[in-house]
């Protein structure tokens, strides 16, 4: 009867190994995603290197669901660049084009006015009450690259959270049940 005991023993040890290796590979996926994200933050110098366009204010250039890659270099902001900025009191950053720049003589501080290509007027109505200009600290980055449609994944997931949970559940199940 010794061979049954050996068999049971081998199965048990195999399962522990399998569970461990699956946990490790799951950890690898999560950490490598984190490494890529943080690495992009270092390379681009922007606190959010990739943004999804949420509104139609830059149509027909950028539509809802398109992805923009941001870069924040030391170069000063100039008219015509598409910048992503945060306004005090608003949570969601805005992607619009710079139409006016005033740069101070000694300090190099800048006053910037933006406008969406598809909007009729400039952005002073979107700024905080009484704010006429954006300063450097409002600006999170300038758009350098563009990829269409990919952002729909995140838009769908934030607007229909049930799909997000279904997807995470299915992926988790796949990782647990996969044999290799």
Q: In the complex, which residues of this chain contact another protein (CB under 8 A)?
A: 60-62, 78-82, 97, 99-105, 108, 111, 117, 122, 143-148, 174
Q: Output the smallest distance, CB 137 to another protein, in A.
A: 19
Is 71 one of the annotated active-site residues of the chain?
no
**Residues 152, 155, 160, 164, CA torsion sign:** positive
Say whether 105 sits in a helix, a strand or coil: coil
Q: In which region does residue 141 sit, left (phi positive, over 0), alpha (psi from -120 to 50) or beta (all else)? A: left
Q: Output the smallest distance, CB 117 to another protein, in A.
A: 7
Q: Output the smallest distance, CB 164 to another protein, in A.
A: 19
Q: Which of 96, 102, 117, 137 is catalytic?
A: 96
Q: Which of 57, 88, 102, 122 is catalytic?
A: 57
Q: Which is nearer to another protein, 2 or 108 (CB)?
A: 108
Q: Output the smallest distance, CB 61 to another protein, in A.
A: 5
Q: Which is nearer to another protein, 56 or 161 (CB)?
A: 56
The CA–CA distances, whole Å, from 17 to 3, 76, 147, 172 equal 21, 55, 41, 18
Q: What is the DSSP string of 122-147?
A: -GGGTSSTT---B-GGGEEEEEEEEE
CB 117 within 8 A of CB 57: yes
Is 88 one of the annotated active-site residues of the chain?
no
| Cα-trace Rg, the chain | 24
Is 123 one of the annotated active-site residues of the chain?
yes
Known catalytic residues? 57, 96, 123
């Amino acid at each position: 009867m010794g061979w049954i005991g050996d068999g049971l023993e081998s199965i048990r040890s195999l399962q522990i190994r399998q569970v461990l290796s699956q946990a490790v590979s799951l950890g690898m996926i999560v950490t490598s995603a984190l490494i890529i994200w943080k690495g992009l933050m270092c390379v681009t110098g922007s606190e959010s290197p990739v943004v999804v366009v949420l509104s139609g204010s830059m149509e027909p250039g950028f539509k809802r669901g398109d992805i923009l890659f941001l870069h924040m270099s030391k170069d000063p902001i100039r008219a015509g660049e598409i910048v992503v900025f945060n306004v005090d009191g608003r949570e969601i950053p805005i992607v619009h084009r710079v139409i006016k720049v005033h740069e101070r003589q000694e300090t190099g501080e800048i006053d910037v006015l933006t406008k969406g290509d598809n909007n009729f007027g400039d952005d002073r109505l979107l700024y905080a009450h009484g704010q006429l200009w954006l300063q450097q600290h409002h600006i999170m980055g300038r758009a350098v690259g563009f990829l269409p449609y990919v952002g729909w994944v995140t838009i769908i997931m934030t607007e229909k959270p049930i799909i997000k949970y279904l997807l995470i559940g299915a992926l988790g199940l796949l990782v647990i049940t996969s044999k290799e």
